[in-house]
Amino acid sequence: MHRPRAIVFDLDGTLVDSLPDIVGAFRDAFAEQGLTAPSEAEVRDHVGLPLETMYAAFAPAERVAALSASYRHLYPQRFTRHSRPFPGVPEALATLRGRGFRLAVATTKRSEMAVRLVAALGLTDALDVVQGTDGFPHKPAPDVVRRALAALDADGVWMVGDTVHDIEAGRAAGLSTYAVTWGTHDAERLRAARPDRLEATLEPLLAATSG
């Protein structure tokens, strides 16, 4: 009996345009803590890493915990203010599901918040598993990808993401890698990570999985 095939997606910057809400809450935490915030461009460059790692890039070590706590207070209040699925994403997921693929999210977000975001944006029924990073190594380590595949009980085919961390994690997990250019990292940076595909839409993914 053949095992089902699976496609694993990053969430923020890949399936959903959530960066304005993430960056806004991240920067507002500095104001709440009486600190000067980095620019939007500086923050965006770090999206996809764990929250504490992001804050450590811009603040003294002794302030990281307080900043992270502020973000975790602020972000749930605004996480659907601007966030939406990227155009064509719901339709692409439906097509892939119709072809028999199992679909998962593997994100650096904590699982609880990732599930909330997926639900709020109407994608719950389009996905089989939403796996966050809960107390184990984050991307570019492959752990979150492997846990998503284990939950699916399926063989991974593609890892789709918008950062070099996604590409490195997918490769380490043994999947083909599909980098999308509409998210956090630009095409030049993604190209340096040597994804199997570097694309501006999901149409080539649909073409590659049509057989």
Is 10 annotated in the active site?
Answer: yes
Among residues 10, 21, 28, 162, the one annotated as catalytic is: 10
Q: How far apart are CA 53 and CA 81, in angstroms?
A: 25
Cα angle 170, 68, 77 (rounded to 5 degrees) comes to 95
CA angle centred on 84, ends 81 and 90, rounded to 5°? 155
- The answer to whether 12 is a known catalytic residue is yes
Dist CA 5 CA 12 (whole Å): 23
CB within 8 A of 88, min separation 6: which ones?
201, 202
CB atoms within 10 A of CB 99: 13
Q: Where are the beta strands (DSSP E) in the chain?
A: 5-9, 16-17, 84-85, 102-106, 129-131, 155-161, 176-180, 197-199
**Rounded distance between C-alpha atoms, residue 184 and residue 182, angstroms:** 7
Q: State the catalytic residues.
A: 10, 12
